[in-house]
Amino acid sequence: MAAVGGQKHILNIMLISFVQTGHSLFDNNFYHQLFYPCLTLVGAIVSDFHDFEDAIQYSCALENNLTTIITRNVKDYKKASISVLTPETFIALPS
């Protein structure tokens, strides 16, 4: 339940920020800019990840068609369907 409450808070902040910057609620970009980030959060909530921040990063990577996540915390991405590398391993890759 705490995650859902947090998501509502994030959505409220995004809505207030969008309106305060002078955008109209009827602007075509409104829905894209407001709800596109929510897709990442929904993907994170329904994922099998135990760490919510890792789940957000993974969901965001998938939505943006990334092929690799670079992190020092490789063990938390065991269920990832994309490559997960440490910074050292990534730097050692041939160009």
**What range defines the domain where residue 74 resides?**
47-95
Res 76: pLDDT: 92
Res 1: pLDDT: 34
Q: Mark whether 90 and 51 lie in a shared domain.
A: yes
Q: Mark whether 54 and 95 lie in a shared domain.
A: yes
pLDDT digits (tens, 9 = 90+) for 56-85: 889 888 888 899 999 999 999 998 999 999
Output the pTM of the full model. Answer: 0.60
Quickly count: other Cβ atoms within 10 Å of residue 11's Cβ: 15
What are the helix and strand counts (H, E) for the chain? 4, 2
Q: Mark whether 56 and 91 lie in a shared domain.
A: yes
Res 5: pLDDT: 47
For residue 40, tell me if it sits in a domain. no
Q: Mark whether 27 and 51 lie in a shared domain.
A: no
What are 74's two structure tokens?
């490789």
Q: Mark whether 28 and 61 lie in a shared domain.
A: no
Spatial CA neighbour of 69 closest among 81, 79, 90, 84: 84
| CA-atom Rg of the chain in angstroms | 16
Q: Is the pLDDT of residue 88 over 70?
A: yes
Instruction: State how far the Cα of 91 lies from the Cα of 68, in Å rounded to an integer.
Output: 13
For residue 42, tell me if it sits in a domain. no
